[in-house]
Structure 1
Amino acid sequence: MVVSLPVLRIPQLRDADELAHLHVAVWKSTYGERLPESCYTQQAVAERKNLWTTILSASPPRLVTAAHQEQIVGFAHAGPPFEQAPAQALELYSLYLLPRWHGSGVGRQLLDAVLGDRPAQLWVAEHNPRAHGFYRRNHFDADGATRQGALPEVRLARQHLPPKNVQDFHSA
């Protein structure tokens, strides 16, 4: 039986609730007991919905979702870094994908859709080996920067990649 892969698309304001639920669900499956239970409540979903409504209302610079049978199963979001001394001029803010789709190539499609082959940076939880492996395979390396929070994070960065045939939703 052939399972169709998700289709990438630019999200709309009406997707804010679905993005919020996905965001919290992926956090729970990824971080589980490492974060307080309050991160996974309906209140957390409501806060994420407010966040996504704000982001989608502002026409984010680079945001793509992956939808399978019209249900959002992942998203990637990128833009200019917020920090004072970034390693690169473009930052991957988030890339979340339901566990069912890990290893399917959808994560790479999302990454390519928002970053293309440009130099970029991102922050990732220090103790997230799956994510570290994924980003290493996509030419990101730790640059020595760290930050502390609910989950300690490390910054990863990559230089310009050789041109490849990627669909960049935001270069046109």
Structure 2
Amino acid sequence: MTAPAAVTVRRATVADAHAIAVVHIGAWREAYAGHMPAEFLARMDVEQSARNWTAILQRGDTDAFVAERDGEVIGWATAGSGRDDDPPRPRELEGIYILAKAYGTGAGQQLLDAAIGDAPAYLWVLDGNPRAEAFYRRNGFTRDGATSSHPAGSATLPTVRLTR
């Protein structure tokens, strides 16, 4: 039996926009089923998302990385100087998503390391997402007491901020 291919992480390019969109939507549907309205998740459109990702990658104002295994993008992460008006740390992990089939491969850790390393940083996470919060705790993040909400179709999702 052949061992699974190793995961590699690299900077994303505009050519990755479609693959990132596929992972973005797939990972949201996997991770947020039961948290977001089903109709909101069903309406997510890969082609529209790919156009959005193309614009993000062309602007270059965020650091974007992809994780690949066997030539397939299985995850992505973005980080930047912080989108909040008064960021608590100099760097924000803006997003990190891995397809469920790649859980346990180390892709998430490699993406986090590429995006923010061990620098002081912050992020927002869905309140009630224990898998994600446990991952961030293992990487030194703790809740700092800040909360917010994120609109998702007809729902509003509670989010909490984690810092290290």
Taking structure 2 as the reference length, what is the TM-score of the superposition? 0.90
- 2:51 match: 50
- 2:128 match: 127
Counterpart CA distance in 2 for 1:67 and 1:35 is 27
Secondary structure in structure 2 of the residue aligned to 1:34: coil
Q: Is 1:24 the equivalent of 2:30?
A: no
Report how far residue 89 of structure 1 moved. 1.1
Q: Is 1:152 the equivalent of 2:158?
A: yes
Counterpart CA distance in 2 for 1:18 and 1:42 is 18
Residue identity matched to 1:34: H
Q: CA RMSD in A?
A: 1.5
Deviates more, 1:132-141 or 1:11-20: 11-20
Deviates more, 1:28-37 or 1:136-145: 28-37
- 1:40 match: 41
Equivalences, count: 158
Counterpart CA distance in 1 for 2:20 and 2:93 is 17
Taking structure 1 as the reference length, what is the TM-score of the superposition? 0.86
Counterpart CA distance in 2 for 1:20 and 1:123 is 20
Report how far residue 85 of structure 1 moved. 1.7
- 1:164 match: none
Tell me the alpha carbon deviations over residues 65-91 of structure 1, each in whole angstroms, 9 at most, x when there is no partner.
Answer: 011121100011000111112110100
Tell me the alpha carbon deviations over residues 9-39 of structure 1, each in whole angstroms, 9 at most, x when there is no partner.
Answer: 1122121111111101000000113212343
Secondary structure in structure 2 of the residue aligned to 1:92: strand
Residues 39, 48 of structure 1: alpha-carbon distance in 2 compared, 3 angstrom cutoff: farther
TM superposition outliers: structure 1 runs of 4+ over 4 Å: none
Fraction of identical pairs, as percent? 37
Is the Cα contact below 8 Å between 2:20 and 2:73 reproduced in 1? yes
Secondary structure in structure 1 of the residue aligned to 2:5: coil
Report how far residue 46 of structure 1 moved. 3.0
Q: Tell me, which stretches of 5 or more residues in structure 1 are unaligned?
A: 159-172
Q: Tell me, which stretches of 5 or more residues in structure 2 are unaligned?
A: 151-155
Report how far residue 45 of structure 1 moved. 2.2
Answer 1 or 2: which has greater strand percent: 2
